[in-house]
Structure 1
Amino acid sequence: MNTEALFESLIDGILETGYGVVDSFLAPNEVVALRNRLQKRQAAGQFREAGIGRAADQSGQAAVEKAIRGDEILWLDVATVTPEESAFLERIDQFIGYVNRTCYLGLRDSELHYARYPAGTFYKRHLDRFRSDSRRRLSVVCYLNDNWQPTDGGQLAVYLPQPDGSEQTTLIEPVGGRLVCFDSGLLEHEVLPASRDRLSITGWLRTD
C-alpha cells in the first residue's frame, strides 16, 4: 500500500468507526531503528515520568500521578532529532498535508513524544483534548514493539459511543509498525497494563 493509500485508510476509519488503524505505517526496519533509538535515549537518562493535566505538554512539568498513568516520555525536538526520527516526523508532516488537502481540518503542526510503559503500568481512561485548549485535533500512536503477542497485554482500549446511548469497547493490539489515529476531543481511551515494556511514539496533530 502506498503512502497516500495508507493516509486514506486512516481517514476512512476515522469517518466510519471513530478511529483509523494501519499496520504498515512503518516498515520493519524503521520500527527497529526507532526502537533502538528509543532504548538508547532511555539508557542515557533522557526520559522523564509523564504527568497529567495542561502542563503535561512540552510547555511545563505536570504532577506525576502513578495511579492514573505510569509511562515515561521524551518529547521529540526537531533541533535534536536523529535521521530515523526526522524521517518519521516527515511522514507525519506528509499526513498532515494530506488531511488538510482532503478534509480541510487546518492542521498546523505536531506534538510528539516517545512513550515507554514499563511492565505493569497503564494510563487510565481519558480524553486527549484539554477543556482550556482545543488545539489538539487528531491523536496518533505509532507502536515500536517487537513480536508483540496478545498475551503480552498493553492494548489500547477505545470507547465508542453508540446511537442508542450504549458504548462499544474495542481493544487494539500495540503491534510494531501499526499507527492508530482518532479525534482527540471525542474518543475516550486507555492503555491497559502489559507484561513487558510497551513502546511507541505518541502525540497530537494540532490546529491554531
Structure 2
Amino acid sequence: MTPMLTTLVAFLGACTLVAASPGPSTVLIIRQSLHSRRSGFLTVLGNETGVFVWGVVAAFGLTALLTASEPAYDVMRVVGAVVLVGFGVQTLRAARRTRKEPEDEAAPDGVRSGWASYRAGLLLNLANPKAAVFALSFLPQFVPDGAPHLPAMVGLAALWAVYEVGYYGLYVWFVGRMKSLLSRAGVRRRLEQVSGGVLLLLGVRMALDG
C-alpha cells in the first residue's frame, strides 16, 4: 500500500470515528429526518457545508486567530450556546404541538422548506467554535509530507464533507425506513422531547464551558 493510500485510509477511518461521536449535528439531523427524508438530507448538506467552511478557514490559518483571541472565542461560544438553546426550545415546542395531534396523524412530508432545513444544519455547525478548533487540529495531521499545505488542506476538507454526507445520509435513510413507526404522534413526540432536551443541555454546557 502506497503512503498516499495509507494516509487516505487512515483519514477516512478517522472521519468515521468523528462522525460516529454523538453531538449536536447528529441530534439535529435525526430530529429533522423525523419530518421527511428531504428535510433530513438537506440538514446534512447544510452541516457539511459548515464542515467544509471550517476546513477552508483552518487551511488559511484563520482559525488560529480565533484560538489566540479569548474574547473572540468567548463571543462565538456564547453565540453557539444561544443557537443550540434556540433549537432545543423550538424542538420542545414542536413536541408540545404534536401532543395535540391525533395519535394516527403523521407529520406530512415537505412541511419544512428546503432552505430552512439547509440553514439549520449550516447555522448549527458554523455557530460552534469547537468545530473550528477541531478542524485546525484534525486536518493538518493528514497532510502528506512534501504536499502543498493549502491545496492539501482544502482537498481534505472537501473529502471530509463529502464522506460525512454519505455517512449521515445513512441516518436519514434509516429514519425514513422506520417512518411507519416514527410518524406516530406519540413516538414522534417522545423523540422530539429527547432531542430537544439534548440540544438544550448541550447549549447550556457550551455556555458554561469557559
Q: Could you tell me the TM-score, scaled by structure 1's length?
A: 0.28
Higher relative contact order (CA 8 A, sep 6+): 2
In terms of fraction of residues, the more strand-rich structure is 1
Structure with bigger gyration radius: 2
In terms of fraction of residues, the more helix-rich structure is 2
